[in-house]
Amino acid sequence: MKDLTEMDKTEYFRRSYRAVDGLWFMMIEKKHGFDEALELDEAVWRVLPKIQARSIKSMLNLDYGLDGLKEAIAIRLALEEFDYDLKPEEDGFTVEIRRCPWHDIMLRSGREELSERVSEVICRAENQVWAQEFSPKGIEGENKEIGFERRERICQGGSRCRFRFGW
């Protein structure tokens, strides 16, 4: 039996992660319709990012706040193979995404017309959770919450997605 490299193993799990996300959605959609599948998908994407953010925060010993969030978001996007840049802004930072692997999957599967609807719910939910997980609200007497807003989206025909995290 041949040994797999660490890169082979990583690619195997990355592909499995993406496949299971799409497959479970399509199975629910087949049985209960698109709207219910999207509603359940949102519920999943309000929990999974908590697990992901807490794991990265713990593994890298990141602090609460914008600096910790910025580092964690960079790691997440790199792991998921986004083509992106992070740009500092006053009281926050902007994420500019030139290529989104999730949108690419929607295109390859012939579901481009649904990409914007999915993004409207899932991208918003996912990134809001990441912001909440790094907000120092309730930590050491802090009462700050990191906000998240979307300024542009590839799935709406733009050349990039632009998100902002900040106070």
Q: Report pLDDT digits (tens) over 62-83.
A: 999 999 999 999 999 999 999 9
Tell whether domain 45-166 is in CATH 3.30.1380: yes
Map out the domains of the chain as residue ranges.
Answer: 45-166
10-65 tens-digit pLDDT: 999 999 999 999 999 999 999 999 999 999 999 999 999 999 999 999 999 999 99
User: φ and ψ at 151, to 5 degrees?
Assistant: -110, -30
Q: How far apart, in whole angstroms, are the C-alpha atoms of residue 109 and residue 116? A: 14
Band of residue 2 on the pLDDT scale cut at 50, 70, 90: confident
pTM for the whole structure: 0.91
Q: How far apart, in whole angstroms, are the C-alpha atoms of residue 147 and residue 128? A: 7
Question: What was the pLDDT predicted at 138?
Answer: 66
Question: What was the pLDDT predicted at 142?
Answer: 73
134-149 tens-digit pLDDT: 999 767 667 789 999 9
86-126 tens-digit pLDDT: 999 999 999 999 999 999 999 999 999 999 999 999 999 99
- Distance of CA 25 to CAs 1, 8, 85, 103, 135, Å? 35, 26, 29, 15, 30
